[in-house]
Chains A and B, each alone.
Chain A
Amino acid sequence: MSETRITCEVNGRKVARTVATHKRLLDLLRDDLNLTGTKEGCGAGECGTCSVFVDGKLVKSCLVPAARAEGARIETIEGLAGMGPLTPVQKAFHKTGASQCGYCIPGMVMAATNCLRLNPEADIDEIKERMGGNICRCTGYTKILEAVEIARDVIAGRRPEGDLDTDEPLGDSFIGHNVRRIDAPAKVTGRLRYAADMKLVDMLQMQVLRSPHPHARIVSIDTSVAEAMEGVECVITAADVPGKDGFGVFVHDQPIMARGKVRHVGEAVAAVAAEDLLTARRAVAAIKVEYEPLPVIGTPEDAIAPGAPVIHDYAPDNVVKHIPLRKGNPEAGFAEADLIIEDSFSTQSVEHAYLEPEAGVAFVDHDDVVTVHSPSQNITHHRHMLADILGLPINKVRMVMSAVGGGFGGKEDMIYQGMLALAAIRTRRPVQLNFTREESLIASAKRHPSKVSYKMGLKRTGKITAITFDMLSDGGAYGMSSEGVMRKAAILSCGPYEVHNLQVDTRAVYTNNTPSGAFRTFGGMQAQFATESMMDIAAEALGMDPFELRRINMYRKGSITHTQHRLDRASLDMVLDAAETASRWESGAPNVRGAARSDMGGPDTRQPCTLGARIVAEAADLSQGDHPTKASTEAAE
């Protein structure tokens, strides 16, 4: 491995290191200097979590070769405040509650600092543009932007510095009070360590061999060359699992590595633990797998077609779960209707895109307890499953939930902890696995794509008389949370409206696509997107205001839900009133009256964006690794 000697200044101190020439500035900072406040969210210049200053200029350190640091002056998140008090930008982030999971926050603080260094008078549009290369998946950016404006005003002297440290006075309770986030200082300084930031003595690095096929039988796996490589401590496959293999939030249909066949592209087939990342990667490349391709199911319709290939033997019809709801008599309800509307709706597969890719560290402790640190959203269930998989008593498995850099449901599946635990047992050394963004995208669950066929009957008065609701969802290759997602989709299906006659069916089926799983709303948004679209179609047909139609049908105290649960209370009337009033909603039927409305363009809206108008001069600077935003397709006019 060729190496380079690098001498540079980092956060005001001279440092010298000899590093492998393939390393990036990000690796030099994180691996060699232990400055883990700089994060790797994508490794491709697209997220901004790795932002640092090099000779005063903000760069994405994942795109910069380490050798470029030679002789340079580098400033990282750790250097902004140093040992002193937080900077105004950091304090403002703390004050407004701008950090949630915190994974994007060091990069955001760097980008905000850069913006205000370049133009201390930057207005909100310029701030947005200068921060447009940094992604945050948690906050919706609003409190981040608010923080940058506050910091700007403090730095410009327009606002007293003391404002950054003062909050609204405390009344007689902490409940309902805007107590500042107790984890914010650790996040705005980059001090909080996530799993990928952990370093243990003697720790190995894991890499995973993943399937290139959507559906194939594994004929053979030859790990001998990989195992013989210097620096390789172990190579594991499904054959090494000592206990009862299988995990899943509901049905345990997924082995920790493919067993006998692969069911989606990106499924883990084998894993290597080696002295360093490069050796592990080389060893993975040396594993030979012979596959025999099987017919592929690419859509849920294909999955339920007669004679479809079977993906899991236990489910010969490819159905993961079907949830039926029956209430009243839909046929009679439709007969009673003055108006019947039929339509269908579809939603896509969505990635959680938490900024922290999956990561974990496993080791076996002095009492033979197999310990896994990972950003798992469900350590309780993971412990149960892992104990079975490893064939160990439950108190010999210990799961620790490391700081989670965003989850949204996507970290409920135990897709890598099993491999880590197995390698730790085999090597008796700590083992770390950090996913790349590409791995995270192909190996983790997505939001269920779904299709809904809808039929709604209504009286002329607006009262709903009957609904049939049929949802078909692509569960992908493994069950994961599909069962629960279908259950919640069914329960919430017809919206917050009392419907006396209904027939609801939700089904998730296996395909050879990336598995679908838990994702914020768990089926609720797919179902209610269809219902709320139908309600507006109905309101237009009836010539009725959309709020009005919803009030006519809404749940009240004593209403019977779609699952025939009597509600003791319901607050829909309150939120309808609140949204209508706050938005100054102009009443009327939803009949394409946008051009005639007078309730739009108020001070509680933003101006449409004309990107590039502000900082065209520096466009060349920004282009380095700039995130291709959707808005950026609109050129300055």
Chain B
Amino acid sequence: MNAITQTSADTRRKRGRGMAASWYGIARTATIDRAGAWAEIDDGGTIKVVTGVTEIGEGILTVLAQVAAEETGARPEDVTIGDNDTARSPEAAHAGATRQTYMIGNSVALASREARKMLFEQIAEHWDTPEDSLRAFNGEIWVEGSNLRMTLSEAVAICKGRGVVPVGAASFTAHGTGLHPVDGKGSPWQTYVFGTQVAEVEVDTWTGEVQVLGIWAAHDVGRCINPRGVEGQIEGGVVQGLGQALMEEHICEGGHPTTHGFAKYILPTALDVPQINCIIVEDEDPTSPLRAKGIGEPALVPTCPAIMNAIYDAIGVRMKSLPATPEKILAALRMPPGGGARITWNNRPAGETLT
């Protein structure tokens, strides 16, 4: 920094801000989506959940543990989630399409409710109290407004002593419809999410290099199950978007790939990361038991355009071909100013100037 005077720094490094909005659908597109799960309230007040899905990094195992715990009265750490295995677990289809929390989460919630109902029936009889007076949370079960209370572990022992294993199975459906082949008419999803991001950048007009210094990412995720997990998805999505915006490119020349390793295929590192400010918006989904939606994919949609709009704000150059590498920025800076879009006014009042 030292060698540059304030004045030359001002002309060399330019800052700007841009924003972009976005939308996305939850679960599989333009089709019916489905997921199954089994749950058992097990000895010791622990929970067994089996469903055909596992973690790809997004945190779904933790989400499912929270959901099963909430629905049964156990604690998340008491939940064991079985392996994802086509011969051992019910179908939950694929790990993608921002469907894990919505599809599998709801299916586990419903299966857990079934299991709880079996347990509650037995405990209600045992305590001679109406079933709807029972509550369970964090490893305990009690009768609302009384001093009848025991651990979930004791409750399971009583239930089993009465000859009942509390189990549940459920399937959750999302009703999308296909698109009409001619006009595309259809209802591709039953739940949508929206997001908006603002980017703040600094462009070095000598080297063409862009640094993203700040991102504000506001995303509707429906009812938020795990805020830290949602932040993790947003932060990861933003940085993938940043990579696509500024540096990543798999190149094929005449069918021959030339980006053979990470020396050629450049990825964002810790040094490229902006400060990411996550704003979690919860517009709860009224049509599903958990009232959650999703965040995996939507987090990355607005990042690229927000950064490109910020670059325009800084240097007046509209980057329309990704990635906006230093070479492309420098080349664009040598072009005449303006975005290059063709803009036509109809019935323009006389004297008005083109932007």
Contacts and interface: CB of A to CB of B under 8 A. Distances in A.
A97 B183 contact: no
A633 B326 contact: yes
Nearest to B321: A346
B152 interface: no
Contact of B225 (A176, A401, A571): A176
Interface string A103-140: 00000000000000000000000011101111101111
B87 A398 contact: yes
B184 A521 contact: no
Interface string A570-595: 11101110111011010000111111
A619 to B, nearest CB: 14
A138 B300 CA distance: 12
A82 interface: no
Contacts of B312: 536, 590, 592
B229 interface: yes
Contact of A351 (B79, B84, B248): B248
Given A141-B239, A324-B183, A634-B207, A575 B314 contact: no
A522 B96 CA distance: 10
Interface in B309-355: 309, 312-316, 318, 320-323, 326, 339-348, 355
Contact of B95 (A96, A404, A533): A404
Contacts of B186: 563-565
A540 interface: yes
Contacts of A28: none
Contacts of A632: 271
B76 interface: yes
Interface centre among A183, A487, A547, A575 (most CB of B within 10 A): A575
Contacts of A430: none
B13 interface: yes
Contacts of A138: 57, 232, 236
B302 A583 contact: no
Contact of B52 (A379, A442, A562): A379
Contacts of A585: 17, 19, 198
Contacts of A555: 23, 194
Contacts of B218: 574-576, 578-579, 582
Contacts of A403: 54-55
User: For the side of the interface on A, what is the size category?
Assistant: 35 or more
Interface residues of B, number: 168
Contacts, number: 548
B283 A574 contact: yes
B133 interface: no
Given A383-B86, A438-B260, A183 B61 contact: yes
Interface centre among A137, A179, A628, A630 (most CB of B within 10 A): A630
A624 interface: no
A631 B76 CA distance: 41
B16 to A, nearest CB: 3
Contacts of A383: 86
Contacts of A543: 355
Contacts of A353: 248, 262, 265, 267
B159 to A, nearest CB: 22
A370 to B, nearest CB: 11
Contacts of A412: 94, 96
A531 B133 CA distance: 53
What are the 8 tightest A-B residue pairs by CB atom distance, in nearest-first order?
A214-B255, A101-B57, A594-B16, A140-B235, A532-B305, A605-B214, A325-B184, A140-B239
Given A491-B188, A597-B17, 17 more contacts: A44-B263, A47-B262, A101-B57, A138-B236, A181-B61, A341-B343, A381-B94, A395-B87, A487-B30, A528-B20, A546-B18, A555-B194, A564-B184, A575-B196, A582-B198, A590-B309, A629-B272
21 contacts: A100-B59, A100-B232, A101-B55, A128-B271, A177-B226, A296-B255, A323-B184, A324-B183, A343-B340, A350-B248, A380-B92, A401-B85, A437-B261, A535-B20, A536-B309, A546-B19, A574-B194, A582-B216, A594-B15, A604-B275, A605-B214
